[in-house]
Every structure is written in structure tokens, then in C-alpha cells.
Amino acid sequence: MRRRFGSALGRGGLSLWATCASVVLITGCSSETTSGVPPLLASSGATPPPVAVAPTIAPNLTPITFRPGPDFAPITPPPVQPDLPDPPSLSGEFNLLLFQPQGLPNIPPVGSAFVTITLRGLFAPGVIRSVEVQFFNISRGTDITGIFLPTAIEQFRNTLIGRGNSYDDRINGITLTNGFTFPADLAAYNTNVAAGERVLVIVVIRDSFGQALRLEARAQAT
């Protein structure tokens, strides 16, 4: 009795194990579990498909040019300019008058000829340092400064040099109340200036800072 039961159990157990093995084999071959597995090589020995190879990148042999380094050399600042006063200026008038004495009938004129400069409202906050005076006969294109007395020209310069910074000069400007007259030798004047010709006077005024003002006036000889 025991032998039969054991034999039957042995045969039944073997059958059960075979059934379980079949279930496992069938389950392992399902499409859900083999989708990511690469196919096996064919048993016929055929050559497998070629494997893609990444392209070889040639090296860049172009030389590298480096930018020059920044220049940290010290920069010299420009010199400091002083705060200059206003340059000389004229807010009034600058005129030229010619006067030649008239001779009596049959008597040549005697004495001197005169040239008068009228100056009003000259401002020079930086103080006048130098004055230059020149006379020209523009009808002939000649310099006639030499016909006037040198002492008169020097006196005119000294009248203006050093002025410009006083209270009255700063408020009202420099004014020659009666003008300034330059006498000339009459014979030299008649030789160099004839009636109807035009005379030009140029006065250049410079202050202590080198700033300049150029004044011009014209008049016609009678």
C-alpha cells in the first residue's frame, strides 16, 4: 500500500514539475519580455551588419592669435589752465579824425597836421601790458607811421599801459575824454597824404595774459 502511494506521488510530482516548467518557458518567451533583447546570431554563420563608426574630426591647425595686453602706461593729464579774466573789449567808440591847417591866400600853411583818435569804453580786466600803433595811407598802400612825432606815439602807449583793473576802469571802461592827438610834420604830411586819400590807424592792445584786442578806424583827408 505504501509503495503504490509513493509511486503515484512520484509520478504525480514529476508531472506537476513538467507542467510548471512549461509555464515558465512559455512565459519567458512572451513578446513583452523579449522586446529589448538583441536577436541571437543566426546559426548559418552569416556576417553581422556593420556597426556605424563616428567620423574622425581633423585637428584645427590654424595658429591662435592672442590679443595684445592692455597698455597700463601712466597718462599725463593736460596742464591746468588758469582761470583767465575776460580779454580786452570795446563797448564804446574808436574813431579817427584828420585835421590840416588851412593856409591863407598866396601863403603856404605853417605848423603841423593833426590826427586825433577818439577812444571810449575800453575794458581790460587783465590790465593792459602793451600797445602798438600804426598809421597807413590805404589809398597808396604805404605805412605813414613815421611822419608822426615818436614822442606822441610813446605818450599814447603810456596813457593806456597799466590801466584796466581800477574801479572806474572796471565799471565805466577806459575813456580818453578829449581823444588823443598825434601831431605830424606838415611837410611830411603833405608829401604822404593828399586830399581825398584815406588814412587807416590800427591799435593792438594786449593784456598781462597775452589776450589781444585789435582796433581799426579810417578817415578821409581833406
Q: Is the pLDDT of residue 212 over 50?
A: yes
Q: Is residue 93 part of a domain?
A: yes
User: What is the pLDDT at residue 9?
Assistant: 44
> Picking from 47-56, 139-148, 173-182, 210-219, which range would have the lowest pLDDT averaged per residue?
47-56
**85-109 pLDDT tens trace:** 999 999 999 999 987 666 545 555 5
Q: Is residue 8 part of a domain?
A: no
Q: Is residue 48 part of a domain?
A: no
Confirm if 148 and 184 have CB atoms less than 8 A apart. yes
Q: Is residue 33 part of a domain?
A: no
Range of the domain at 191: 89-103+111-220
User: What is the pLDDT at residue 38?
Assistant: 54
CATH of the domain at 150: 2.60.40
Which is it for the CA torsion 167, 169, 171, 177, positive or negative?
positive
Strands 142-143 and 212-220: unpaired
**12-39 pLDDT tens trace:** 444 444 444 444 444 444 444 555 555 5
Compute the average pLDDT of residues 140-146: 96
Q: Is the pLDDT of residue 44 over 60?
A: no
Number of domains in the chain: 1
Q: Is residue 44 part of a domain?
A: no
Q: Is the pLDDT of residue 81 over 80?
A: no
